[in-house]
Every structure is written in structure tokens, then in C-alpha cells.
């Protein structure tokens, strides 16, 4: 059983399009993070959300934490080729002693 | 050097070999981690060290043996590995462990077991 399920698993879009990536779980998390990993590199943290319903914006990226703190979404506006990469959600358990990564969404933005 | 570095970047080893992966962090952090990233599985946390003491060991086979001689260095000693151990091994560090601490990752070691 995957604790953090991401969808879609793969996404290929044209430059300029919008997209949304989802991270879902049946568990409640104390906080949730989104990372981006480029080929040949380790993941890099994009954002941390901690409050249910919280929305954070990072330039063209909008992150939302679900009200019940069980899910999250990442929306990219006007995608660019530089957005290409593997997007990973990750979360600390409610007890704070376990850290889990999601299944990942591989995004390709075609120029 | 800045951030988190890992050596070697690529490693090919036979099932009877013994090798070690090295990780070094230049961030002054107190916690270090080993993760395994396979093609068909999510990133798996293998080991966590906080202030040079192991605080988490997620049922990792004994053919993987971590060592943390000081807060800046972390090793993963490998022996009698199996082909299914082929993966990207990522090291990370953070100021502390638990909720709210950001982890900084190295570029990984791509391991192939033949």
C-alpha cells in the first residue's frame, strides 16, 4: 500500500499549458512538502505546507494543502521547458517520526 | 565545496564485491539520511543519523551497513548485494530531524549490481 499516491504518474504537455498534479492519502499529515528532481540530481525542496487549507504561491506554481491535511495539489501556470522534472510530494506522519515520499509525477514540457 | 556531495557518482559492482558510498555535507547540519530510489518504487528512507547516532533503520537488509563517523560524513558500506539493489542512492542532511526541517539532497550514486 502506497501511503502517498500521486497522479498522474506521467504528464507530457506543450509549453504554455497549465497543469495540476495531485498527492493523495488516507492518512493525516502534520505537514507536507513538494520537491522537484531533475535528471542526475537529488530532489530540491519547493515548498512546505503545514495548515489545512493553506495555499502557497511560488511564481507560476501554486500549492494547496487539503482542509483535512490528507491531500495536496500543485498547479503550474503557463508551463515552461525548465519545469520538466520529477515532482515528489513528501510528508511527516502525525507523530513526526516517519517521513514518506509520494510515488512521483514525471513532467515533460515540450517547447 | 558547498551543499551535499556524494562519491562516486556511478558504481558498477559484482555481487561478491565490497564497496562503500560516501556522503559529505558542508552545511553544518546535525542529521544525515540515506535513501534508495528505484525505478518502480517511491523514494525509500533507509537510515537516519542524528548527532552521529542512528535513529531510524527501516528494515534494511544487513548487506547495507551505514557509518557516521562525524556529523559531516556518512558512509554506506555494501557487501554481497543482489541485482535488485541496483538503484540511485541519495544522501540528505538537515539541521534536525522531525517536522519542519528541510532536507538537502546530494546528487546521488547510481549503483548497478551485476
**Cβ separation B42–A100 shorter than 8 A:** yes
Predicted confidence band of residue A97 (pLDDT cuts 50, 70, 90): low
Inter-residue contact A60 to B114 (CB < 8 Å)? no
Pairing of strands B109-113, B10-13: parallel
Alpha carbon of A33: minimum distance to chain B alpha carbons (Å): 9
Predicted confidence band of residue A2 (pLDDT cuts 50, 70, 90): low
As a whole-number percent, the residues of chain A with pLDDT over 90 amount to 78
**Cβ separation A88–B105 shorter than 8 A:** no
The CA distance from A106 to A108, in Å, is: 7
Partners of residue A25 in chain B, C-beta under 8 Å:
none
Pairs across A and B, CB distance < 8 A: 48
Whether residue B76 lies within 8 A of chain A, CB to CB, comes out as no
The CA distance from B102 to B41, in Å, is: 22
**Cβ separation B107–A40 shorter than 8 A:** yes
Supply the pLDDT for residue B1. Answer: 55
A1: pLDDT strictly greater than 60: no
**Cβ separation B42–A104 shorter than 8 A:** yes
Three-state DSSP at B21 gives strand
Whether residue A102 lies within 8 A of chain B, CB to CB, comes out as yes
Supply the pLDDT for residue B57. Answer: 67
Supply the pLDDT for residue A95. Answer: 66
Three-state DSSP at B106 gives coil
Q: What is the mean pLDDT of residues A72-86?
A: 97
Averages of pLDDT over each 10 residues, chain B, 114 residues: 89 92 96 91 89 77 94 95 95 87 94 95
Average pLDDT along chain A: 92
Whether residue B28 lies within 8 A of chain A, CB to CB, comes out as no
Supply the pLDDT for residue A36. Answer: 97
Give the helix/strand (H/E) hosting A45: strand A44-49
Amino acid at each position: 500500500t502506497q501511503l502517498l499516491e500521486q497522479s498522474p504518474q506521467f504528464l507530457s504537455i506543450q509549453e504554455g499549458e497549465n497543469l495540476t498534479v495531485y498527492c493523495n492519502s488516507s492518512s493525516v499529515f502534520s505537514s507536507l512538502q513538494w520537491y522537484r528532481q531533475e535528471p542526475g540530481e537529488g530532489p530540491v525542496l519547493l515548498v512546505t505546507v503545514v495548515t489545512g487549507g493553506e495555499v502557497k504561491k511560488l511564481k507560476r506554481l501554486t500549492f494547496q494543502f487539503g482542509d483535512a491535511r490528507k491531500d495536496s495539489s500543485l498547479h503550474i501556470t503557463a508551463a515552461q521547458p525548465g519545469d520538466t522534472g520529477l515532482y515528489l510530494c513528501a510528508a511527516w506522519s502525525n507523530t513526526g517520526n516517519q517521513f514518506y515520499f509520494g510515488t512521483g509525477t514525471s513532467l515533460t514540457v515540450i517547447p | 565545496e558547498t551543499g551535499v556531495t556524494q562519491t562516486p557518482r556511478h558504481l558498477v559492482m559484482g555481487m561478491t564485491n565490497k564497496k562503500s558510498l560516501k556522503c559529505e555535507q558542508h552545511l553544518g547540519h546535525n542529521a544525515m539520511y540515506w535513501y534508495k530510489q528505484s525505478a518502480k518504487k517511491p523514494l525509500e528512507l533507509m537510515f537516519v543519523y542524528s548527532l552521529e547516532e542512528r535513529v531510524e533503520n527501516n528494515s534494511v537488509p544487513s548487506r547495507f551497513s551505514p557509518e557516521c563517523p562525524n556529523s559531516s560524513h556518512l558512509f554506506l558500506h555494501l557487501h554481497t548485494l543482489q541485482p535488485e539493489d541496483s538503484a540511485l542512492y541519495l544522501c540528505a542532511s538537515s539541521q534536525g530531524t522531525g517536522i519542519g526541517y528541510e532536507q538537502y539532497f546530494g546528487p546521488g550514486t547510481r549503483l548497478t549490481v551485476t
